[in-house]
Structure 1
Amino acid sequence: MMICQQQHQQQQHLSISHGSILQPNYNLTTNLSLLHFPNPTSIFKRVKPLVASSQKHPVHHDNSEVATELQQAQPQSRHLFRKHNSKSIAFLDNLSQHPDAGKQEHEVTSLDRDKMLELSLISSSRRSPTFPGAVDFPAIESETENGGPSPKIRRIFQGSGTVIDEEDRDKMLMRALDIRRSVTAGILNQVMRGSKLSITYSSNLVSRLPDFIDRIMIAAASMKQLPDFSHSTFNARVKTCIQNSKVIPLIRWLKHNSLTYPQIGKLICMCPGDLESIRHLVEWLKSIYVKGKFLGYVLTKAEGILEHSQDELEEIVGYLESNGVRREWIGFVVTRCPHVLSFSMDEMRTRVDFYLDMGMSKNDFGTMVFEYPKALGSFSLDEMKIKVDYLKEFGLSHEDTGRLLAFKPHLMGCSIEGRWKPLVKYLYYLGVRRDGMRRILTVKPMIFCVDLETTIAPKVRFLQDIGIHEEAIGGVLVKFPPFLTYSLYKKIRPVVIFLMTKAGVTPRDIGKVIALDPELIGSSIINKLEVNVKYFLSLGISLQSLGEMIADFPTLLRYNLNILRPKYRYLRRTMVRPLQDLIEFPRFFSYSLDNRIIPRHKVLVENRINFKLRYMLAGPDDEFYKRVEAAIERRQRFESGIMDINPQTQTTNSSSEQIQVNSSEMRNPQDSLLLPS
């Protein structure tokens, strides 16, 4: 009895499954998973002949009836349902309650897609191929005389009552074009992978070739009109176009020459004609010394370079070479300014003559182009003329402007409104007038190229912090313009700290020292300042006295030792002067030994008089000889016993001059050699 009942249940389940198999768009595997069979092998043997018979004699069943039977059978085997079929069970339960819901939703969501697909397959004579992206343009473009859609298009939408307009038609055309574009891109990607290019590289490069893909797509579509390709598929025509373009060997060759895939993609899209012209252009760039890693940069940045022939490019290079730009420099110039190769020959002549007309020689022009190629190719002629006219407002002549640009061509890259005018206003506020600005511009033109807020203003505030008055800051900048180009924390502050800690300069005098000689900031601490400080300290000068000497004469630390040693030796051995005289008058080292110190010392020795170093060396020769004559006259009166009591005959400097017989210089000269050097 139990065996018969079990066979009856199996037949009932088979009837349900048999009905679902015969029903279209119904999944046999899903239905079988909803049921429980005690022996799957035996059930499969029974289902197999039923499936075969259903294919020969199909029987149509309603989905609602099948769902009802499944719902009735569901309580008997719910505890055996699989978890991954839970959504199917819920869908069948909902479908049993609302039989027409799924059908209406399916019709609504897929209506437009079906209409577009059917529209894309319209053909006036025969059915178009049904591969993705197949579009019959004559059928779509065949409209009635009054501008409405064609009869075939009208019949498609008559069933649903939808009226197609021009906007919908354009959307369907764009959709079809997008499909064909994606098919073309996929075929190109597949061909690139077949040429042993990596998957990632191929995908990235294809994404950079939208224009080339469109050209291939259009070429493949136009090949349909050729007799040899009238019956070929779109995919086959695309492959043929890719092979004829020879793009794959070109990609591999450009990759071997260090071009990145963005550069390769942009270059291929830029090429209007035969892609082999890219290969010839790369070979020519190598001949003018363009390095491999810069080939892609030059090709992609030089606008219109692919439109120039090789003869035109060679003519431009030859013209630059004839005007001072060496051929071995051309590669460097083109690398830094690819726009040089974008100009026509007439425009290139105009730009070169613009600089040569300012009195610039060919050698200076070639050096200028090598140092800053953008001055030749990155700015318009109007912009260049405006900047030259602005520089002339500082009092520079046409020739002086040409020499200035040859010395610092980076000025052509500076903005007048954003860089020059704010700097001029700031310098004018500091007390720098037109002549001072001209000196700053000619001595250190780089100041007009740096940023005002981040470079110049902090250094001016530093000068104020160390005690320099605001009215004197402008003089410091005019006296030593390179001060504004030095680093505040790597150069200026270390020098100031060295002077205050190692050279004995007090904080009260540091502002005075920098104001008197701002060139100290430009001196090297290790090679100049420290060496001179050690030398003066070795002479027996205390650190405090050295600081006073530097405050009186800051240039003392900038002299070379081969200049200081002979003068000190002459002072101590020949003139037999004490070290205190040197401490009182450190400017002694600023006078020439052969032209000032020795001649005047001989005059004093011959006339048996002696002056302090300050009155001996200061002043011109006429004033010195007048002072000597006055001293001789006073000495003669003193020796004769005649005392001049008339105050009018006394000179103003009698209190500071010592009139005496220089008996020390009448000694044996060998005695002076015993003094320390």
Structure 2
Amino acid sequence: MQQEALSFLSSTFPSHHHHHHHHFPSFSRLRFHNFPAFSFKPNTSSSSSLFFPPKSPDFPSFPSTSETLESDIHEKLLYLDSLGIDFLTLINRHPPLLSAALSAVKSVVDYMTTPPINFSLPDFRRLVSMCPELLTNPLTSHTIPVITFLLREVGVDGVFDLRQALRRRPRLLACSVDCQLRPTLYFLQRVGILDPHKHTYLLSCSVEQKLLPRIDYFQKLGFSRRTATSMFRRFPQLFNYSIAENYEPKLDYLMGEMGRDVREILEFPQYFSFSLENRIKPRHQACAEKGVRFPLPVMLKTNEAGFRDTLEVCCDSSPPLKTSPFYCTNKDS
């Protein structure tokens, strides 16, 4: 049925339907020659919002499967367009939306945009654009259990924090509680992350494919399992960084250009949160030009003005005591 619907849509709409929504003419002005006429009422069920015109004596008593399919699609298109959601773009990314019942779609919209969840319409549109499965996953057997899990088991503190968590990681709404979210929660707790409600963005990550390989990576560098795990416990965001695009280039620069020992990151795993090009390299080069060497936190955590002031104090006046966090030395440069 989805193939038939896609074929129908491709013959009904112009080929440029993948452009942004504002490039389309208003759907209310489109001429749907193949659709029977009917009225549209967004706040009523699909059964009460369809009013077919009087049938001609030549027409069959019941609409054909094709006619019913076209009517359902038309109804969904108008409803989603009334919310500012581009139906045509969305079905290209998530074809199951074609066969989803309009009443089920409306139930999801009502649940997510009214109290207690109460997402604003712009926020809801963003959720759908990043997680179109939200519109087709069963509300009572999927979406509500996900939200209940976040509130009761993860410890998300109220609806405001729930909305914040879902804004940050809409893909949580596409995850199964039993197969994805709960196993990841248990893994984080075993690692020693006792405040998972602050790191809900990690719950959509696969333990086997994403979380464990990152711990294994640091073990391959020579750290013990316990030591590597302690870094992630103190800085859980470390789980969210790419090995190839983050860990490797920053460690190469740390040990190569900067000439530092890899063990420095044990005390400062936040090193990986700073931009290599915009923060790490410029700060290191500024220190190298002055012939000084700061501890990584001093070099990277301060703002630009604070860093420059610290650099000037260290180079142009009496050096600070060795016990000071600003202590620097020329011999390691």
Cα 1:554–1:629 shift into 2, 3 Å: closer
**Is 1:424 aligned to residue 109 of structure 2?**
yes
Q: Which residue of 2 aligns with 1:303?
A: none
Q: Which residue of 1 aligns with 2:38?
A: none
Q: Which residue of 1 aligns with 2:290?
A: 607
Q: How does 1:554-573 map to 2 (within 5 A)?
A: 554-556=237-239, 558-560=241-243, 563-572=246-255
**Is 1:405 aligned to residue 91 of structure 2?**
yes
**Is 1:535 aligned to residue 217 of structure 2?**
yes
Q: What secondary structure is seen at the aligned counterpart in 1 of 2:223?
A: coil
Q: Which residue of 1 aligns with 2:188?
A: 499
Shift of 1:454: 0.4
Asked whether the equivalents of residues 609 and 661 of structure 1 are also in contact (C-alpha less than 8 Å), the reply is: yes
- Distance in 1 separating the partners of 2:127 and 2:285: 43
Q: What secondary structure is seen at the aligned counterpart in 2 of 1:664?
A: coil
Q: How does 1:502-517 map to 2 (within 5 A)?
A: 504-506=191-193, 508-514=194-200
- Distance in 2 separating the partners of 1:572 and 1:448: 48
Asked whether the equivalents of residues 211 and 239 of structure 2 are also in contact (C-alpha less than 8 Å), the reply is: no
Q: How does 1:385-400 map to 2 (within 5 A)?
A: 385-396=74-85, 400=86
Q: How does 1:48-447 map to 2 (within 5 A)?
A: 354-356=12-14, 359-360=17-18, 377=66, 379=68, 381-396=70-85, 400-416=86-102, 418-428=103-113, 429-447=116-134
Asked whether the equivalents of residues 112 and 118 of structure 2 are also in contact (C-alpha less than 8 Å), the reply is: yes
CA deviation digits over 1:347-405, x for unaligned, max 9?
A: x98x65543387359xxxxxxxxxxxxxx936354543332222123334xxx432223
Cα 1:402–1:618 shift into 2, 3 Å: farther
Cα 1:599–1:530 shift into 2, 3 Å: same
Cα 1:380–1:559 shift into 2, 3 Å: closer
Q: TM-score, normalised by structure 2?
A: 0.68
Q: Which residue of 1 aligns with 2:154?
A: 466
- Distance in 2 separating the partners of 1:394 and 1:616: 48
- Distance in 2 separating the partners of 1:414 and 1:656: 64
CA deviation digits over 1:575-623, x for unaligned, max 9?
A: 355666423432322344455423321111112344443453357xxx5
Runs of 5+ in structure 1 lacking a partner? 1-332, 341-347, 362-375, 644-654, 666-677
Asked whether the equivalents of residues 491 and 521 of structure 1 are also in contact (C-alpha less than 8 Å), the reply is: yes
- Distance in 1 separating the partners of 2:83 and 2:227: 45
Q: Which residue of 2 aligns with 1:585?
A: 268
The worse-fitting range, judged by mean Cα deviation, of 531-540 and 487-496 is 531-540
- Distance in 2 separating the partners of 1:582 and 1:532: 14
The one-letter code of the counterpart of 1:385 is: H
- Distance in 1 separating the partners of 2:292 and 2:208: 43
Shift of 1:530: 1.7
The worse-fitting range, judged by mean Cα deviation, of 385-394 and 578-587 is 578-587
Shift of 1:451: 0.7
Runs of 5+ in structure 2 lacking a partner? 20-64
The one-letter code of the counterpart of 1:597 is: I
Asked whether the equivalents of residues 556 and 586 of structure 1 are also in contact (C-alpha less than 8 Å), the reply is: no
Q: Which residue of 1 aligns with 2:208?
A: 526
**Is 1:630 aligned to residue 309 of structure 2?**
yes
Asked whether the equivalents of residues 271 and 296 of structure 2 are also in contact (C-alpha less than 8 Å), the reply is: yes
Q: Which residue of 1 aligns with 2:144?
A: 457
Q: Structure 1 vs Structure 2: percent identity of aligned residues?
A: 22
Asked whether the equivalents of residues 131 and 173 of structure 2 are also in contact (C-alpha less than 8 Å), the reply is: no
Shift of 1:563: 4.3
Shift of 1:432: 2.6
CA deviation digits over 1:259-298, x for unaligned, max 9?
A: xxxxxxxxxxxxxxxxxxxxxxxxxxxxxxxxxxxxxxxx
Shift of 1:452: 0.6
Larger radius of gyration: 1
- Distance in 2 separating the partners of 1:604 and 1:478: 39
Asked whether the equivalents of residues 608 and 660 of structure 1 are also in contact (C-alpha less than 8 Å), the reply is: no
- Distance in 2 separating the partners of 1:407 and 1:378: 24
- Distance in 2 separating the partners of 1:544 and 1:636: 35
The one-letter code of the counterpart of 2:83 is: F
Q: Which residue of 2 aligns with 1:664?
A: 332
Q: Which residue of 2 aligns with 1:485?
A: 174
Asked whether the equivalents of residues 404 and 442 of structure 1 are also in contact (C-alpha less than 8 Å), the reply is: yes
Cα 1:441–1:379 shift into 2, 3 Å: farther
Asked whether the equivalents of residues 532 and 561 of structure 1 are also in contact (C-alpha less than 8 Å), the reply is: no
Q: Which residue of 2 aligns with 1:265?
A: none
The one-letter code of the counterpart of 1:359 is: H
Asked whether the equivalents of residues 127 and 167 of structure 2 are also in contact (C-alpha less than 8 Å), the reply is: yes
2:281 aligned to which of 598, 604, 607:
598
Cα 1:609–1:461 shift into 2, 3 Å: same
Cα 1:385–1:598 shift into 2, 3 Å: same
Aligned length: 281
The one-letter code of the counterpart of 2:213 is: V
Shift of 1:441: 1.3
Cα 1:410–1:589 shift into 2, 3 Å: same
The one-letter code of the counterpart of 1:560 is: I
The one-letter code of the counterpart of 1:423 is: V
Task: Identify the structure with bigger relative contact order (alpha carbons < 8 Å, sequence gap 6+).
Answer: 2
CA deviation digits over 1:67-103, x for unaligned, max 9?
A: xxxxxxxxxxxxxxxxxxxxxxxxxxxxxxxxxxxxx
- Distance in 2 separating the partners of 1:551 and 1:377: 58
Asked whether the equivalents of residues 411 and 448 of structure 1 are also in contact (C-alpha less than 8 Å), the reply is: yes
The one-letter code of the counterpart of 2:96 is: H
